[in-house]
Amino acid sequence: MDRKPMANTSATSRLRVSEHEGITRVEFVDRNILDEANIQQIGAEISRIVDSKTQPKILISFDNVDHLSSAALGTLITINNRVRSKDGQLRLANIDPQIYEVFIITKLNKLFQIHQTTQQALASFS
Amino acid sequence: MTSAHSSSESFSGCFELHNRPEDIQRAERSVLSAIEQLEYDRASVFAIRLALEEALNNAFKHGNKGDPAKQVRLHCRVDPKAVVIEIEDEGDGFDPHSVPDPTEQENVEIPSGRGLTLMRAFMTEVVISPPGNRVHMKYVRPG
């Protein structure tokens, strides 16, 4: 698939961001999303993307992510609330089975729309 | 590290930590590498790492309230059958029963308050001793 990197992806970013047919795909640079300062930066970066869109369509892919903390879950909830307040859509994809268990335990698998693959997630946007 | 003892069959260590990422990561690496040396499987390492992260974060953030002068004491013992982790902060403690259940419908969209739930889910035993500034966690190796 042809994806265009976005201009706001910088050398110090914790994210890789690309745009395809009005959908913003976000991937994480780090394998472990545990450090409080990194999580705050990730939250601020994704929030800026959401704020720059009218009706944001955001796909967050967890490719290569091995660990995440409850603070990272909190950031995802904040982003979800922000996207919904702008009448947008948020999808999560490619979550490692052990991390998916964290979503099940916290029942966040019912709050978020989670897909196994990027393709399935992309196809789910309306 | 305040003290440590290791052999081919066990590891025990005591760490007095300030809220400095490099010190905390060094302590975590010591614990996790002892677990890996005893060939705990990937799921066990994931569970223990998550609980350790959450407990340390709670201790520094909620226990010590980010006070850089305060320390957190981490004690751990790893053997082939189980991992025991004890973490104590210098805060006033808290009542674990007062923490809202984050899985209840009315709380599921609140961004905080999931650390304790995850610790309880992934560890075999989690005990918070009065006044609530010390947590004891045990992970019993499956099988």
- Six token digits for residue B83: 């991992």
pLDDT digits (tens, 9 = 90+) for A69-122: 999 999 999 999 999 999 999 999 999 999 999 999 999 999 999 999 999 999
- B6 pLDDT band, cuts 50/70/90, is confident
Omega within 30 of 0 (cis) for the link into B131: yes
pLDDT of B83 strictly over 70: yes
Question: In this structure, what token pair is assigned to residue A72?
Answer: 């990272």
Binary contact (B110, A77; C-beta < 8 A): yes
**What's the confidence (pLDDT) of residue A2?**
52
CB contact under 8 A, B114 and A74: yes
CA dist B105 and A21 (Å) reads 35
Of the candidates B46, B103, B115, the beta carbon closest to that of A70 is on: B115
Is the per-residue pLDDT at B82 higher than 50?
Answer: yes
Residue B47, class by beta-carbon neighbours within 10 Å (0-12 exposed, 13-18 middle, 19+ buried)? buried
Angle in degrees, 0-180, between the axes of helices B115-122 and A97-105, rounded to the nearest 10: 120
* Run of H or E including B63: none
Work out the pLDDT band at B8, boundaries 50, 70, 90: confident
Query: Helix, strand, coil proportions of chain A in percent (round to 5)?
Result: 40, 25, 35
Query: Which residues 30-69 of chain A have a CB within 8 Å of chain B?
Result: 34-37, 67, 69
Nearest chain B Cα to A99, which residue?
Answer: B46
CB pairs under 8 A between A and B: 56
Of B66, B70, B99, B72, the residue nearest B86 (C-alpha): B72
Supply the ipTM of this predicted assembly: 0.91
**Residue A119: CB partners within 8 Å, gap ≥ 6?**
none
Q: Does pLDDT of A11 surpass 60?
A: no
Give the span between the Cα atoms of A109 and A93, in whole angstroms: 11
Inform me whether the C-beta atom of residue A100 falls under 8 Å from chain B C-beta atoms. no
Architecture of the CATH domain A4-124:
2-Layer Sandwich (3.30)
Going along chain B from its start, the domains and CATH numbers come out as 3-140 (3.30.565.10)
Question: Domains of chain A: which residue ranges?
Answer: 4-124
Confidence of residue A42 (pLDDT cuts 50, 70, 90): very high
Query: Nearest chain A Cα to B24, which residue?
Result: A35
Q: Which of A70, A75, A106, A107 to mutate to test the interface with B (most CBs of B within 10 A)?
A: A70
pLDDT at A45: 97
What's the pLDDT at B30?
Answer: 95
- Return the pLDDT at B45: 97
State whether residue A110 sits within 8 Å of chain B by CB: yes
